[in-house]
């Protein structure tokens, strides 16, 4: 069962609702009645604002606004003057002559014993260990893997090399089939 306080609040709430509905009807009714009675041809007043009626009748001619003194977007005038370019002009690259062609390697010619040309002689594969004997007849000592070879001056080694001169720190070798001037020095192995 509702108490007296709750009944008063409910009654007051209903009374305020009725007053609010009456105020809205009183305020909006003249605008609704006036607009409906005149056929919607005049500006309707709502509060202190004026809102124009939108739309047009098919019977009336439509008014198209005439162009004013403003700018016409569809006409073209003279182009604007270009802005000068203040950047410095780049210096053109000089025209250099083309580089000379790369030299081709000329084949190295080693003179042969019979006067022709031969390719480069082979590498000497043995290590020189030193020499033995008297100064007038030295013998060169070489290491070939685990073998040791003793070769006198003027003899052949491995059928391709000739011992031309034996010294205390190097041996001069020549090559079979090549001229005597084609030599190579093999230093003492360390």
The reply to whether 109 falls in a domain is no
pLDDT of residue 29: 78
pLDDT of residue 15: 95
> Final residue of a domain: which of 16, 32, 51?
51
Residue 158 region by backbone torsions, left for phi larger than 0, else alpha for psi between -120 and 50, else beta = left
- CA dihedral (92, 97, 98, 103) positive or negative: negative
The reply to whether 87 falls in a domain is no
pLDDT of residue 187: 93
pLDDT of residue 30: 72
Residue 41 carries which DSSP code? -
* pTM for this entry: 0.44
- Report pLDDT digits (tens) over 104-123: 777 678 888 887 888 888 89
Q: What stretches of 32-97 adopt beta strand conformation (E)? A: 44-46, 49-51
The reply to whether 110 falls in a domain is no
The reply to whether 157 falls in a domain is yes
State the total domains in the chain. 2
The reply to whether 90 falls in a domain is no
- CA dihedral (54, 57, 60, 63) positive or negative: positive
pLDDT of residue 129: 93
The reply to whether 151 falls in a domain is yes
The reply to whether 104 falls in a domain is no
> Which structural domain range is residue 27 located in?
4-51
pLDDT of residue 128: 95
pLDDT of residue 68: 56
pLDDT of residue 17: 96
The reply to whether 72 falls in a domain is no
For residue 136, give the CATH number of its domain.
Answer: 2.30.30.830
- Report pLDDT digits (tens) over 67-92: 555 666 777 777 778 888 888 888 88
The segments of the chain whose pLDDT lies below 70 read 1, 33-52, 54-72, 107
């Amino acid at each position: 069962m509702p108490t007296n306080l709750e009944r008063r609040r409910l009654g007051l709430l209903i009374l305020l609702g009725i007053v609010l509905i009456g105020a809205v009807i009183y305020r909006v009714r003249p605008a609704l009645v006036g607009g409906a009675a005149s056929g919607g041809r005049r500006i309707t007043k709502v509060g202190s604002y004026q809102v124009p009626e939108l739309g047009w009748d098919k019977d009336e001619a439509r008014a198209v606004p005439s162009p004013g003194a403003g700018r016409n977007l569809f006409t073209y005038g003279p182009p604007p003057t270009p802005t000068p370019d203040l950047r410095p002009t780049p210096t053109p690259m000089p025209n250099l002559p083309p580089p000379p062609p790369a030299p081709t390697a000329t084949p190295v010619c080693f003179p042969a014993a019979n006067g022709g040309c031969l390719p480069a002689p082979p590498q000497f594969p043995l290590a020189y260990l030193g020499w033995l004997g008297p100064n007038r007849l030295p013998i060169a000592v070489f290491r070939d893997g685990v073998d040791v070879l003793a070769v006198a001056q003027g003899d052949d080694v491995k059928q391709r090399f000739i011992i031309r001169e034996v010294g205390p720190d190097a041996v001069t070798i020549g090559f079979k089939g090549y001229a005597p001037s084609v030599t190579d020095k093999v230093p003492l192995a360390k």
